Each structure stands twice: as structure tokens, then as C-alpha cells.
Amino acid sequence: MRLQFILSEIGLGLRRNLSMTISVVLVTFVSLTFVGSAALLQIQIGKMKDDWYDKVEVSVFLCPQNSSAPTCASGEVSEDQRADIEAALASPEIKPYVEKIYTESKEDAFTAFQKQFKDQAWTAAVTVDDMNSSFRIKLTDPQKYQLVADVVSGRAGVEDVQDQQRLFDKLFSVLNHATLLAGGLAAVMLLAAVLLITTTIRLSALSRRRETGIMRLVGASTFFIQLPFMLEGAIAATVGALLAVGGLWIGVEYLVSDWLSESVNWIPYVDTADVLTVAPILIVIAILLAAISSLVTLSRYTKV
């Protein structure tokens, strides 16, 4: 009887304030979609770091023929220059930071280049002599890039020193800023959601003042009086959270898995499994939102 009664009260309340209920659902939907997007962006960054930081290396590109760099004034890198650079990399001050050095000849570079851009018409115009031979240095600590770069850059025979991590860090910083933006919007929307749920519960409580008045009079417990209102808010917010999970799932499935990973396939992407990891967090946030709003409102509007 109790459960049935509470359920019917909830149904009544939700229907009586249908437009408010729908707006609560929509606001929590939008705000939690932002929260979820922020979380997925962070997961994306984590995945890329895991995947790439292992492969990150410092590339020391040696002079090819016809380079315009001032350190390449003597033409293609000579054996003496090469030995000089190798000696510098083996010097005691940077030795501890270097895990491994391997050499890529210009022929290797050419093969890799042809393979990577085999579909492009202009690859035919590139010759072996256009390519750089290079030292690829794997660091024990990717943060110590600058030390290594300082030692080799500016030496005769070195055209350029590139740290791949620098490139990634730019991308990560873009993604981090996107996370901040999504998080900021989420915070604003969550505030709107709390206010809206508060208003909805208050309206609902006011429209049922007669009922709650009689309930108090005949000795219904405070919990019993407040429960339907709390559950109303919680149900609306949870529906919003489920919509957000659904929206993110569709977004990841069709935008990322079906489209992005087909067109730019060298990046590991978030997938729908990650959405399911985020889902419980979103639902918990929704329930917390509703609980906070209920506590704030009900203590004032359904006093014993």
C-alpha cells in the first residue's frame, strides 16, 4: 500500500508539472552532456599519452644536399660531422638521459616516406637525396628534451632538432582547453539545473500544500511527506542523465568510431566502452543534484 501510494503520488506530481519536469530533464541532459564530454576528452588525452609517449623521441635531422640552414653550409653531412655529433650525444653530461639512439639513413627515410604518402602524385618527384638522414633518440625522461637539444643543435651538420613531444603537447593543450571550456559550460548548466530542480520541487510542494497539510495533521512522518517530492526530482534528473549518456554514446559511435577513426586512423580514440565508464558518474551527479535541491527546498516548504 505504501509503495503503491508513493508511486501514484509521484506520477501525479510529475504529470501535474509536466512542462517543469521536461525542462528539468532537458537541463540535466545538456549539463551532463557537457560533463561527459569533458570526461571523454580527458580519457582521449590519456589514451593518446599512453600510446604516444612510449614512441616519443627526439629527432636530430642531419643536413641533406642543398639545405639552406646555416649549419649546413658545407653541403650534405660529412662522416666527420656525424662522428662529432655521435660523440656529443655520448658525452657524460647527457648520457644518463639517453635511453637509446638509432640511426635512420636517408634511404630508410625515403622508403618510409614513399610508404606513408604512396597515394599522393607528388611523391614521385621526391628523390632519395631530398631526404634527411637522422638520429632518433629515445630519452629516459621525455621532459629532459632541452638538455639534449642544447648539446646537438647549432653544430655543423645538424639541420634541425625536433621533439615530437612538443608537437603532442600542443595538441594536448588544445584538448585540455576544450576540457576546460566543456567543464565551465557544465558548471554553469549544473547551476541552472539545481535552480530549476529547486523551483520545480517548490512549485510541486506548493501545488500540493493542501495534501501535505492534511498529511502533517494526521501524523504522516516528515520522510513520508517529502519522499515523493525528492523522488520526483531524482527521477527527472536521472532521465536527463540517461539521455546524456545516450547522446554521448551516439556521438562517440557515429562521430568518432564511424567517422573520425576511419578518416584519421593513426590516433587511438575513445569508444562506446568509455562512454559506459562515464555513465555511472553522470547518473550519480544527477542524483546528487536532485538530492541537494530537495534538501534546500523541502526543509522550507514542508515543515512539520
Name the residues that contact other proteins, by CB under 8 A. 1-2, 5, 210-211, 213-222, 224-225, 304
Closest distance to other proteins from the beta carbon of 205 (Å): 15
C-beta of 14 vs 139, nearer to other proteins: 14
Closest distance to other proteins from the beta carbon of 15 (Å): 12
Q: Are 20 and 199 in contact (CB under 8 A)?
A: yes
C-beta of 140 vs 299, nearer to other proteins: 299
Q: Are 241 and 282 in contact (CB under 8 A)?
A: yes
- Report the alpha-carbon distance of residue 103 to residue 63 in Å, rounded: 14
Sign of CA dihedral 114, 116, 118, 122: negative
C-beta of 136 vs 216, nearer to other proteins: 216
Closest distance to other proteins from the beta carbon of 219 (Å): 4
- Report the alpha-carbon distance of residue 158 to residue 135 in Å, rounded: 10
C-beta of 15 vs 95, nearer to other proteins: 15
Report residue 44 CA to chain centroid gap: 5
Q: Which residue has the cell 512549485?
A: 203
Closest distance to other proteins from the beta carbon of 5 (Å): 5
Closest distance to other proteins from the beta carbon of 212 (Å): 10
What are the DSSP calls for 88-103, one per residue?
Answer: HHTSTTTGGGEEEEEE
C-beta of 185 vs 220, nearer to other proteins: 220
Residues sharing a CB contact under 8 Å with residue 147, sequence separation 6 or more, in sequence order? 93, 94, 97
C-beta of 5 vs 102, nearer to other proteins: 5
Please classify residue 273 by burial: count the beta carbons closer than 10 Å to its beta carbon, then call 0-12 exposed, 13-18 middle and 19+ buried: exposed
Closest distance to other proteins from the beta carbon of 226 (Å): 12
